[in-house]
Structure 1
């Protein structure tokens, strides 16, 4: 075994003395078989990485260091971070490392043959170097994947923070560098905008996927505000669809930078209404504008509805019929015949129910039409029946 190690060290010295040619041939092999790197004009980085990694491997072979102890060179680690910035995918880099490792093994076998062609220990010497490189490759591929992921996550976080800063600036002022902000965001501000704000209810939901499902047009601008909230803008229209586990507020479609801001403000208002449903809900501002105005203080809103509807808040079928009757009566301007037509009831039945309602409320309906209509609207939008007493 000592003789094999001596031979391994001598072959590694031979290759080490010719490191510039070895590294250049290694880089050429990778460039030919991994054209993505050639297309990105990364030949210089590739050559430096090949040289640094080859030196690490050969020095370990010379010193008798086991492959399990050999890690990526500092230069290679730095270049991996650069490749992430250039948008080179992990599978491309992994493929390049494999091609480089196989080329190194071929060079190793040739060097063993050139120096020890007639020696009986030539085969075990070639085998030792080949196994060394394979073991090293498996180790560094795992290390590289870890570094690649860490760098990708760091860049993603930094990009998200820069984009959030740009959007905050757009929402609060009229920046002079709109063109550069548009370029960083990848989003045009001159067109029409419909803003959406999504927030998790607490369950594990991919907010970005939920946002893409809501917008019917191109992929929207998505800005993570925090771990549970996502701000979005798109050209609209947004689907009025259920998104389980998510509260969604939707603004109106509005033009220009002012519309970008106004629609976001509306989406934030609508979100406040959606958040009153524990299971998640989608609230469009055109449907809940009045409710959003009234629930700046949800506790006060509940007190208002309770004071206005009282016994009509019960979750019984009878209370539901009374609320439906009162709603129809108010929507047609207080005409019991028209309310009956809308409900499919005789007008006398409507009058009888209205009398029952006035008895339950202990006051006439007419003087408090606006109050009752608003209370019914809030009752429906806020799901207040879940708080209501059972009759």
Structure 2
């Protein structure tokens, strides 16, 4: 394939002087960052917080793009390049459980993005210097593909060797399977998955995600909960920034078990987000994804979120936020003047949320830590701004207030003890 690309590049003629000058003027750093960021977004969105993987991809992208620009510029030869950064990326990908289809996909996507970078640069140069676009596109395009073709074979061999070595380790295999479970992809049947994970998939599972400044060992926490709460099996997916832990039961969890689990998690001293109990292999993935979504919203809520947050507490927000623009419009329509960033409107929104949740001036005053008369005054101000009784569109207003907390990028509001934080 490399030879065919080179022959076709030759048939299109040599790289023009204009194309060589363009290649010499380009900044491989900025192009590499664009390619790496887009690959993370398009192929590995769930690894957005994995700094190690992102850095490996960035280094590999820079090495390849710098080599391609130098080859097009006439400073290097295609046959003399050795992709050391790509080898390191392949080993990292194999180590953390990136599947073969994903590995192949990131190379296909990356190839398209590299060409897009060159095409944009060519259009800009053609417009600024009155150079025919054809002089900048032909041979360089084929050289880009020839380089990628040449690099992929040895890089794939390095990935395959590393993957074989790591997959020989049962723990690594388990991590790879759990990653696929979270992604909703199935690389093997249920029986094989059950054997590899060592849990009964017919039972019920509940997952939680650990975050926070305090370092909590997920395996140790899982073992403690297993012993104290009568849990039969545990699994840990060691995502760098937010480990996912599953607790499994052969049958349904008992209410007393779930209560003890919550108590143990509250004592852990970390930010923890829980999924909902769910059964089977599909349930293993569903509760894990619920926990990850709850954790994402917990981070957005900041100080307004409780240290232990259940997906059930933010299920409504998650549903609405699947279409952020429609959610923002809904909030604007329902809140009207209350949808403002100033401190007074923020305070009134907090009061409205507490009042609607608590159901009375007395309870709201207790939760907000203010006098009952203050709550009455604030409610009157809110009703004047809305032009209707506070309970007039109770459900819609409550939903809008809850969504506002997450859609807002304002500084975190003060949340009184017992107030309806998520």
TM-score (norm 2): 0.41
Task: Point out which structure has higher relative CO (alpha carbons under 8 A, 6+ apart).
Answer: 2
Of structures 1 and 2, the larger Rg is shown by: 1
TM-score (norm 1): 0.44
